[in-house]
A and B are shown apart, each in its own frame.
Chain A
Amino acid sequence: MNFLSVGNPKRFLKLVVVVFTALIIGLGLLVSPAQADSIGEEFDHAVLGNVKIKGEPIGGVRIMVEGPSYSAEVLTSDDGSWLIGVPTKDTYTVTLDQETLPAGIAVLEGGASQDVDLGLSDRVVKNFFIGQGERNEVSFFDQFVARLIYGINFGLMLGLASVGLSLVFGTTGLSNFAHGEMVTFGAVAALILGTVLQVPIWVAIPAAVILSAGFGWSLDAGLWKPLRKKGLGIVQLMIISIGLSLTLRYVIQFFIGGGTEQLPGFDSPKITLFGSVALSVNDLYSMGISIVAIIGFALWLLKSNTGKATRAISDNSDLAAASGIDVDKVVRLVWIVSAALAGLSGVLWAYFRPGIKWDMGTQILLLIFAAVTLGGLGTAFGALIGALVVGILVETSSLFIPSDLKYVGALVVLIGVLLFRPQGLMGRKQRVG
């Protein structure tokens, strides 16, 4: 196929870019701070409070609430009160924007961001202790370094999920939309083992990964292999994977419900690295586990016979089959490895978010796609690098754009890569047609 042969798109593209920029600027001009003291009153649950200093109310202070699937912000009214309605009984992070406090005033205890849990009641009051004090200004550099480390952590777990998707694409040509549910599966398996069955978490996590591997095996044995034998086209397979994704997603919701669940030990202590950069113990474990898993995976792909066979099939499936490689056997193994890595990624992500939700996999599916395309479709190591880029981009971009738009950057990158360098960062231009 030859995508670039018709017409000259550059002129159009320029126009498109100009129009789009104008639109964004236009929208930006319309934005001014909301002059409301309450928002989301139609919801059943709410977080509320009062901002006062020595009994004197402070108006116009920005309060933000961020939860797993919802975020909102208000300015306090003249009597210092504020209320933010929230849709679900989850744990929310309430942040008081210290920039909007009068000079010389700061949050004295607990920091400007604090968690509230709506588990027990419909309405929770959250007040901040503020007073005369040095505002604990976090320097931009510190924020950036912290975000960078979070980004690497997120990128690594994204990488675990991405290499699997990439391998499946490379060996079978399938863009698997159900890969997000394979991520959720790992987290849910760990949840059931760790909280319902009360297995110690250091047993529960490996067991969840093994269950994920078994899940991958059964998907290939029960669904994908028979469909390959049936000779369905890649578009058909893609839509079937969408059906599978819907099925699995709602089956998971069926069992764990619509709320957010936590794994044991999700609230680990923080360790200060330097300045104000702090990481939780879980983050450190998570990065360590990711790196070990990725090295193990790389050794398997590069050194073992099955790994070599996998790469041979990704390169040229027919040739590999003709030279005596049992393609079905290798593809089966690819599904197992892919599901195991996705499951591990789900467990780690459940600690990173934190929390397990029925649609958590769907939330990052497009980020996984972005990582895989960025690295070059079907190349496992490319997907890994793509994942790190996407992870860092997502985390650091929230320094510059509203945090509820942090995924947008990654999606724009995904589209951009497909448009201008469909072979990815690592892939090489190939002879087509």
Chain B
Amino acid sequence: MSNNDSPIKSTGLHIGEAAPGCKKTDPMLVIDHVKKSFGGLTAVDVEHLEIPKNAITALIGPNGAGKTTLFNLLTGFDTPDTGAWEFLGTSLSGVPSYKVAQMGQVRTFQLTKALSLLTVLDNMKLGSKNQVGESIFRALFPGSWRKQDAEIELKAIELLKRFNLDAKQADFAASLSGGQRKLLEMARALMTDPVLVMLDEPMAGVNPALTQSLLGHVLNLKKEGMTVLFVEHDMHMVRHIADWVVVMAEGKVVAEGPPETVMNEQAVIDAYLGAHQDTDLGVVTGRISIIDQEKDK
């Protein structure tokens, strides 16, 4: 596991000043005027946002800032009221979620979605794209899919080894611990050979022993040329691995920039303090201490 104390950060991602909606040198996702409201409440209202390619971008913000909703909108799991967004130059407006995934933009969920009554190996094999045997007509003729299925199995076992899950491959996913399910979900996402990996709170509910290995996996994704966009509440993790941080509050992007600078910004502090009534106080105080430390430096 290549998990150094200070991972190499990507720099020079943006053009001009690091302000909300600033241009990126090589954007993977470009979002314009995406708006979504539920009843009278505006959940997401993003003017312009670009996600840099081959970098790890963290999406942070207090609870109810619209991070997960934005995730849902970008992956086609929800439809915005207005707005457009592009993935590697292709417009994704109105594209159903499964097609978004086929284009190489894969996501995980805040509440882990392990397929409990399938074995770990079957979970993995489901991730693979363009399987012949997944067509109902070819499914009846094992000759047409056996060979491909064997190859997929090899690839799955390979990945399971990397994630230390190979010993569990024959078990039902239901028997895994919470952290192992997170690992499985990430490994399964990698089976789709994604370009952009979107992780919704990958660390939530994971015990500290597994946190290090998960961090290592996320960093590896970048090494292998993938782009990562993740939502996270753990500020230590964000500072540790993110190359770029986007801060959301009340549906809007209020700040973005490299982690070292963005957390000092008044807008970010306001976002958290202004929202503290909606947030768990313990979490808020934790966050303030991080921000204070940054100030002291």
A residues whose Cβ falls under 8 Å from a Cβ of B: 2, 4-7, 428-431, 433
Contact = CB atoms under 8 A, between A and B. Distances in A.
Contact of B96 (A7, A428, A429, A430): A7
Given A7-B96, A433-B72, A2 B78 contact: yes
B172 interface: no
A6 B98 contact: yes
B192 to A, nearest CB: 18
Interface in B253-290: none
Contacts of A428: 39
Given A5-B78, A5-B79, A430 B97 contact: no
Q: Which of A4, A429, A433 has the most chain B CB atoms closer than 10 A to its own CB?
A: A433
Given A431-B38, A431-B43, 12 more contacts: A2-B72, A2-B77, A4-B79, A5-B77, A5-B79, A5-B96, A5-B97, A428-B39, A429-B38, A430-B38, A430-B39, A433-B78
Interface string B181-211: 0000000000000000000000000000000
B271 to A, nearest CB: 21
A430 B37 CA distance: 10
Interface in B31-45: 38-39, 41, 43
B139 to A, nearest CB: 21
A5 B76 contact: yes
A429 B39 contact: yes
Nearest to A431: B38
Nearest to A7: B96
Contact of B39 (A2, A7, A431, A433): A431
Contacts of A430: 38-39
Contacts of B97: 5-6
Interface string B78-96: 1100000000000000001
Majority DSSP secondary structure for residues of A touching B: loop
Listed from nearest, the 4 A-B pairs whose CB atoms lie closest are A431-B38, A6-B96, A5-B97, A7-B96
Contacts of B98: 6
B69 to A, nearest CB: 8
Nearest to B98: A6
A5 B39 CA distance: 19
A433 B77 contact: yes
A427 B118 CA distance: 37
16 contacts: A2-B77, A2-B78, A5-B77, A5-B79, A6-B96, A6-B98, A428-B39, A429-B38, A429-B39, A430-B39, A431-B38, A431-B39, A431-B41, A431-B43, A433-B72, A433-B78
Contacts of A4: 79
Interface of B: 38-39, 41, 43, 72, 76-79, 96-98
A295 to B, nearest CB: 31
Nearest to B96: A6
A402 to B, nearest CB: 40
A383 B76 CA distance: 34
A86 B129 CA distance: 62
A429 B79 CA distance: 14
Contacts of A433: 72, 77-78
A4 to B, nearest CB: 7
Contacts of B43: 431
Nearest to A6: B96
Contacts of B76: 5
A7 B78 CA distance: 12
A5 B97 CA distance: 7
Nearest to A428: B39
Contacts of A429: 38-39
Contacts of B38: 429-431
Contacts of B41: 431
A433 B39 CA distance: 14
A415 to B, nearest CB: 24
A4 B79 CA distance: 9
A26 B41 CA distance: 49
A431 B42 CA distance: 11
A6 B72 CA distance: 13
A5 B74 CA distance: 12
Nearest to B68: A433
A5 B76 CA distance: 7
B73 to A, nearest CB: 10
B232 to A, nearest CB: 19
A367 to B, nearest CB: 31
Nearest to A4: B79
A24 B166 CA distance: 58
A431 B72 CA distance: 12
A2 B39 CA distance: 16
Contacts of A2: 72, 77-78
A7 B94 CA distance: 9
Contacts of B72: 2, 433
Contacts of B77: 2, 5, 433
A4 B94 CA distance: 11
A422 to B, nearest CB: 15
A166 B232 CA distance: 39
A429 B40 CA distance: 11
Nearest to B37: A431
A431 B44 CA distance: 12
A429 B72 CA distance: 18
A71 B237 CA distance: 73
Nearest to A1: B77
A9 to B, nearest CB: 11
Nearest to B72: A433
A433 B43 CA distance: 12
Contacts of B78: 2, 5, 433
A6 B77 CA distance: 9
A145 B130 CA distance: 63
Contacts of A431: 38-39, 41, 43
A428 B43 CA distance: 17
A433 B79 CA distance: 12
A45 B58 CA distance: 79
A147 B91 CA distance: 56
Nearest to B36: A431
A428 B79 CA distance: 18
Q: Which of A5, A6, A428, A430 has the most chain B CB atoms closer than 10 A to its own CB?
A: A5
Contacts of B79: 4-5
Nearest to B110: A433
B107 to A, nearest CB: 13
A11 B25 CA distance: 41
